[in-house]
Chains A and B, each alone.
Chain A
Amino acid sequence: MFKKLLLGSVVALGFTGSAMAETVNILMEGVPDTQFVKELIPEFTKETGIEVNLEVVNYAEMHTKLVPQLVSPQGSYSAIVVDFYWVGEFVKAGWMQPLDERIKADNFDTSVYVPALMDLVGQVDGTTYMLPFYNYAMGLTYRTDLLADAQNQADFKAKYGMDLKVPATWDEYLKQVEFFTKDGMHGVVNQGLRPDPIAMEWSNYLFANGGTYHDADWNPTLNNEAGVKAVEQYKTMIDKFGPVGSASFSFDEAFNVMAQGKAYSYITYNFFRTAYDDPSKSAVVGKVEIMPVPGPTPEQGGSLNGAWGWAIPKSSPNPDAAWTFLKWVESKEIAKKRALAGGSPTRTDVFDDPDLNAKYAYFPALKQMLLTSHNFPVFTYTPQLVEVLGRELSLAVAGEKSPSDALAAIEAEMAELARKDGKLK
């Protein structure tokens, strides 16, 4: 009798399940690109009849919310978005479904993605786990009006013997920072808060000096001339050319300094570019432009790459519906609509789209930035590495450790983490 009853209720549940419209649940971070997706969702529901429920939270909460759902056999999230930080951990823990078979079956073209992004939040060791969602590569935002000023141009030429123009190399940029630190203006504003802001920003300095995190065998390569120069330059920026307190700024505080017109330049995430032209947030509308962080030579870039990817967790209750949604949201048409709304694209065909280039003059610069950008080391302990970087760089900036001591400490811990992860033999 009891068994029958149980069976009956299971059947009933099954019926209600299939009778109800399917819902795709996704945990997302509260950022502009999430908003652009949200606005387009009614189109998807109209097309497919599948409801989409976005749970939007702060970045700080995401990881702690995700993990319990990912480790359980049946989680509540149909699809997830993955920061490149977590890729190593999630792959190592085996929490994401490989997408290759679905891609093949539906002929979804992944070759349109910017290769650097596909490496970062797409494929890991030949298996595709994610589709790149949006990028947050870092670029140099700078004041075009100050560059164009005739007096500045003459003074700069007199002082440095070269023209004042959009910097082609890192050294040229450093001269400009020094030059513009005058009359209450700051040449630069930095985001020195540990751990992510300083670690991410400093990575640009490392790459701009031609440095790298590790060699092909994951031997750390930080404590060398490029690394030491990057730390010294970073410290000089904060101490001499930046506003008081930038050693503790997060990106929003640094952005505010720049947006209030108090600094010449700020290396930041490219999605801030649109905010400079928003009069409610910015006093420098139309005066700021973005470009790839200049490298050691005009051909090389110094930008740090960063991105989020879409993925389907192994614990997804309805992976098929989730894939339907991923296919749709990453289609050329929807990706273009998102970009038009202000999103940060990941597809080259979107970057090359004439409508977008007409609307956003800086799109070629963004594409160039992505093409010349460098990836942060992606492995299981990426977040821990960021933590170590944040701590040691912050100590170096505070003058409590010499640059090479700090770099040596980072190298030691990084090597240990890489060894623990099996990357470094």
Chain B
Amino acid sequence: MSGIKASAADRRDARFGYVLAAPSLTVLFLIILFPVLSALYTSLHEYTLIAPNFDIFTGFDNFRLALADAEFRHSAWLTIRFVIGVVLLEFVIGFGIALMLNKVERFKPIYYAILLCPLLMNPVIVGLIWRMFLHPNLGIVNYLLSTVGLGPVNWLGDTKIAIWTVIMVDIWHQVSFMIVLLLAGLASLPKEPYEAARVDGANAFQCFIHITLPMMRTVIIVTLLIRLIFAVKTYDLIYIMTRGGPGVATDLVSYFIYRTAFVGLNIGEASAMSIILLTAILGLTAYLYRYMRSIR
């Protein structure tokens, strides 16, 4: 191809393409890039709600403060573990259910409707409902457990259990997302390789390992990535269910940043924390994206 120059007409087409793309690109920049840059700018200043101005430039002090804050580090580490736990569990459960549903032929719309219900609910409502269900003395969950001689379980009041309770509720709320995406992926898989594999002598498990998983790889990575990003941002459930307690057992980083901003009034430091979080997520996304391209 080298040595052949684009003709004038080609260049004109290219220019026209840029012109066509310009409005949407501009809007995209304004909507997405501007807030990010604004947060970055804020993070470099001492900006509080008491004195909402950019008078004092502090460089990376906010970042240093954030990283030195043991509470922030605790929240970040807790969030990492929470995200891994939630995403993995949801993936395993979601994939299992998706595989089962993929075989179902009758009443599919009904299953879909039921599955989608939790997903359509506002997380605040989900949190409130589950707080009610999980009330140690008056809640239905402990009542049901008591009928089989178990409990009472201190769902939200025990530092060892609370995070798992939140994970469980999050799974209840979000697992349908996994199911729906994975199910769509499964439904779009070609049938023939399965038939070929059956003839080749693969049993159901071998089909899953050697055919389904590899063919679903892209869908799986995208699903995991989206869920992961959402899980990092988990805020509502914590706010409604535990407020980060008992102790600091469920103090996820999004809630921590919220408090730094709106309770501590320190927008600058909160912005710095958000930027740190954003960087981490971006890095992870870039890594997964490259991995996905490499396996194509």
Q: Measuring CB to CB, which residues of chain A are less than 8 angstroms from any residue of chain B?
A: 60, 63-64, 67, 71, 89, 92-93, 192-195, 198, 243-249, 253, 256-257, 260, 262, 380-381, 383-384, 386-387, 390-391, 394-395, 397-401
Tell me the nearest residue of chain B to A63, going by C-beta. Answer: B262
Contact partner, B243, options A253, A390, A397, A401, Cβ 8 Å: A390
Enumerate chain A residues within 8 angstroms of B263, measured Cβ to Cβ.
383-384, 386-387
In the bound assembly, the distance between CA atoms of A391 and B46 in angstroms comes to: 25
In the complex, the answer to whether A89 meets B49 with C-beta atoms within 8 Å is: yes
Instruction: Name B's interface SS.
Output: loop
A192, B157: Cβ atoms closer than 8 Å: yes
When C-beta atoms are compared, the residue in chain A nearest to B71 turns out to be A391
Residue of B239, B247, B262, B264 near A64 (CB, 8 A) is B262
Q: How far is the CA of A92 from the CA of B247 in the complex (A)?
A: 31
Give a binary string over B156-194; 1 marks a CB under 8 Å from any A CB, 0 the rest: 111100100000000000000000000000000000000
Asked whether A384 and B265 contact (CB < 8 A) given A60-B239, A394-B245, A394-B247, the answer is yes
Docked Cα-Cα span, A400 to B248, in Å, equals 9
Beyond A244-B154, A390-B243, A401-B247, 10 extra complex contacts between A and B, CB < 8 Å: A60-B239, A245-B155, A248-B156, A248-B242, A248-B246, A256-B135, A383-B263, A398-B245, A398-B247, A400-B247
Q: How far is the CA of A395 from the CA of B239 in the complex (A)?
A: 17
Separation of A92 and B265 alpha carbons in the complex (Å): 12
Are B159 and A243 in contact, with the CB atoms below 8 A? no
Contact with A along B52-86 (1 / 0, CB 8 A): 10000000000000000001000000000000000
The reply to whether A253 and B244 contact each other, CB–CB distance below 8 Å, is no
Q: Which residues of B contact A257 (CB under 8 A)?
A: 137-138
Question: Does A380 lie within 8 Å of B50, measured CB to CB?
Answer: yes
Q: Is the interface of A mostly helix, strand, loop or mixed?
A: helix
User: A193-B242, A245-B157 are contacts. A397–B247 as well, Cβ < 8 Å?
Assistant: yes
B152 within 8 A of A: yes
Kindly report which residue of chain B lies nearest to residue A253, judged by CB atoms: B135
Residues on the B chain within 8 Å of A60, using CB: 239
- Pair A384/B264 contact, Cβ less than 8 Å: yes
Q: List 8 A-B contacts (CB under 8 A).
A: A192-B157, A192-B245, A245-B136, A256-B135, A256-B138, A381-B264, A383-B265, A391-B71
Q: Are B246 and A397 in contact (CB under 8 A)?
A: yes
Residue numbers in A under 8 Å from B242 (CB-CB): 193-194, 248
Q: How far is the CB of A416 from chain B (nearest CB, A)?
A: 11
* A395 / chain B contacts, CB cutoff of 8 Å: 247-248
Identify the closest chain A residue to B165 (Cβ): A248
Most buried by A among B156, B244, B263: B263
Which residues of B have CB within 8 Å of A92?
50
Contacts of A246 in B (CB 8 A): 136, 157
Among A93, A244, A262, A391, point to the contact of B157 (Cβ < 8 A): A244
Whether A243 touches B246, Cβ cut-off 8 Å, given contacts A93-B50, A380-B50, is no
| Chain A neighbourhood of B239, CB < 8 A | 60
Residues A244 and B50 in contact in the complex (CB < 8 Å), given A193-B245, A391-B244, A394-B248: no
- Asked if B137 and A93 make an inter-chain contact with CB atoms under 8 angstroms apart, the answer reads no
B126 contacts the other chain (CB 8 A): no
B233 within 8 A of A: no
Q: Which residues of B contact A384 (CB under 8 A)?
A: 263-265
Complex-state Cα separation, A243 to B151, whole angstroms: 13
Contacts of A253 in B (CB 8 A): 131, 135, 138
Contact of A248 among B138, B157, B248 (CB under 8 A): B157
Instruction: Flag whether B198 is at the interface (Cβ < 8 A).
Output: no
A247 to B51, CA, bound (A): 36
Q: Would you list which residues of chain B between 141 and 161 have a CB under 8 Å from chain A?
A: 152, 154-159
A192 vs B243: C-alpha distance when bound (angstroms): 11
Output the least CB separation between A11 and chain B (Å). Answer: 35
Residue of chain A at shortest CB distance from B239: A60
CA distance A401 to B249 in the complex (A): 13
Q: Which of A92, A192, A244, A245 has the largest count of B CB atoms less than 10 A from its CB?
A: A245
Knowing A89-B50, A194-B243, A394-B245, say if A244 contacts B265 (CB, 8 Å).
no
Complex CA distance for A381 and B249, rounded to whole angstroms: 24
- The verdict on B210 contacting chain A, using a C-beta distance below 8 Å, is no
Q: Which of B52, B135, B159, B243 interacts with A193 by CB under 8 Å?
A: B243
Residue of A nearest to B152 (CB): A244
Chain B residues, Cβ within 8 Å of A387: 259, 263-264
